[in-house]
């Protein structure tokens, strides 16, 4: 879960807003990242954001969490495309009876790639 200041509309001087370190009443974006849904159902952009109003908060004005959510969606899309290609290659090997050790290599590469991507996330 991420809370992100959406007061960037009033910010013209970089990523910090005009209201830094002041107590004020403003709106926030709440990010709910469904990690388990992403892996099981391969939802490319599985980030839900809801705008809540009138939250009393000491704002810092940082706007970095949206980039994390976009990168998470990009990684999910890469994983989905990889499994899509892997599935048809798997069927191709079985239909034309190629060497079955290739299947083991593909499965090992898939596990390694998934482990690396999930470790980054």
- The pLDDT of residue 71 is 64
- The neighbouring-strand residues paired with 47 are 33
Position 88 in a domain? yes
Position 40 in a domain? yes
- The neighbouring-strand residues paired with 28 are 5, 52
Structural domain containing residue 99: 77-120
Residues 96 and 49 in one domain: no
Position 72 in a domain? no
Residues 81 and 63 in one domain: no
> Could you tell me which of 107, 48, 38 has the C-alpha nearest to residue 79?
38
Burial class (CB in 10 A: 0-12, 13-18, 19+), 28: buried
Residues 43 and 94 in one domain: no
Residues 16 and 42 in one domain: yes
Residues 41 and 92 in one domain: no
CA distances from 6 to 26, 28, 42, 88 (A): 8, 6, 28, 43
For residues 64 and 71, give the distance between their C-alpha atoms in angstroms, rounded to a whole number.
11
What token pair was written down for 15?
A: 């990523």
For residues 3 and 53, give the distance between their C-alpha atoms in angstroms, rounded to a whole number.
12
- The pLDDT of residue 121 is 58
Residues 17 and 62 in one domain: yes
- The pLDDT of residue 111 is 75
Residues 49 and 31 in one domain: yes
Position 54 in a domain? yes
- The pLDDT of residue 89 is 73
Residues 8 and 59 in one domain: yes
Residues 16 and 40 in one domain: yes
pLDDT in tens, 73-91: 666 777 777 777 777 777 7
CB within 8 Å of 106: residues ≥ 6 apart: 86, 89, 90
> Number of structural domains, the chain?
2
> Could you tell me which of 64, 51, 56 has the C-alpha nearest to residue 26?
56
- The pLDDT of residue 85 is 73
Q: Which residues of the chain register pLDDT less than 70?
A: 1-75, 93-100, 102-103, 114-121
């Amino acid at each position: 879960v991420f809370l992100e200041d959406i007061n960037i509309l009033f910010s013209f001087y970089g990523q910090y807003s005009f209201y830094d370190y002041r107590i004020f009443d403003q709106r926030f974006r709440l990010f709910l990242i469904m990690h388990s849904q992403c892996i099981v159902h391969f939802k490319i952009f599985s980030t839900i954001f809801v705008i809540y109003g009138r939250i009393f908060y000491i704002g810092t004005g940082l706007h970095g969490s949206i980039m994390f959510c976009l990168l998470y969606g990009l990684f999910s899309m890469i994983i989905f495309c990889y499994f899509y290609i892997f599935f048809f290659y798997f069927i191709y090997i079985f239909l034309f009876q190629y060497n079955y050790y290739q299947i083991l290599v593909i499965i090992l590469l898939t596990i390694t790639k998934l482990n690396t991507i999930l470790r980054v996330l």
